Amino acid sequence: QLYREARECLTLLSQRLGSQKFFFGDSPASLDALVFSRLAPLLKAKLPNGKLQQHLKSLQNLCNYCTSILSLYFPWDGGESRPPPHPAGTDGSEAEEDPHKRRKQLLSVLVGLVAMLGYAFLSGIVSIQRGGVGPAGRQPVALEEEEEEE
C-alpha cells in the first residue's frame, strides 16, 4: 500500500509539473526545493528495492527536472562533467587546493551546533530560568510569605 501511494504521489507530481521547468514557472520556489530534496536521492541512490526508483525513471519530466536542478545548482555533483582533479603538487600544494577548508569545517560545525541548540530551546528540551538575587541583595520572597508580611 505504501509503494502504491508513493507511486501515485510521483505520478501526481509529474502531472503537476507538466512541461514546466519548475512547479511555479521559470524560477524555483520552496516547493521545488522540497520536491527536489525527496526526488534526487530516490533517483540517484542505489536502493535495495528499486520499484519506486523505476517508476520515477519512467516519469521523464521528473527525471529531467532533477537533472536540470543538479546541473544548474550543483554542477560538479549532478552534471556529467566533473572538474579536472588537481594533482597533488610536489611542493606541498595539497593544502592550496582549498585554502579555506578548515574555516569551512569550523563554520559547518558552528552552524550545526546553533541549529541543535535552537531546536532544543524551541522544542522546550532546554529552557532558561532566571533566578538569583533580587534588588538590594534581597532574595525573592514567595507569594505566601508576601501575603503573611502584609
Type of residue at 45? A
Domain count along the chain: 1
Cell 587546493 found at: 97
pLDDT at 133: 58
114 in a domain, yes or no? no
- Residue 123 falls within a domain, yes or no? no
Q: Is residue 52 part of a domain?
A: yes
* Regions of the chain with pLDDT less than 70: 77-97, 132-150
pTM over 0.85: no
In a domain, 34, yes or no: yes
Residue pair 50/7 in contact by the 8 Å Cβ criterion:
no
Which of these, 14, 38, 41, 17, lies nearest to 28 by C-alpha position?
17
Residue 69 belongs to a domain: yes
Residue 29 lies in a domain: yes
Specify which residues 25 forms β-bridges with: 22
Provide the residue range defining the domain that includes 61. 1-74
CB half-sphere exposure, 144, CA atoms < 13 A:
0
Predicted local distance difference test score (pLDDT) of residue 62: 93
User: Which DSSP letter does residue 22 get?
Assistant: B
Q: Cα-flanking dihedrals φ and ψ of residue 140, to 5°?
A: -65, 145
Tens digit of each residue's pLDDT (9 = 90 or more) over 47-84: 888 888 999 999 999 999 999 998 888 887 544 545 54
Amino acid at 134: G
Who contacts 62 (Cβ-Cβ below 8 Å, separation ≥6)?
Answer: 10, 13, 14, 17, 39, 43, 56
Q: Is residue 131 part of a domain?
A: no
The pLDDT of residue 93: 47
47 domain-assigned = yes
SS3 100: coil
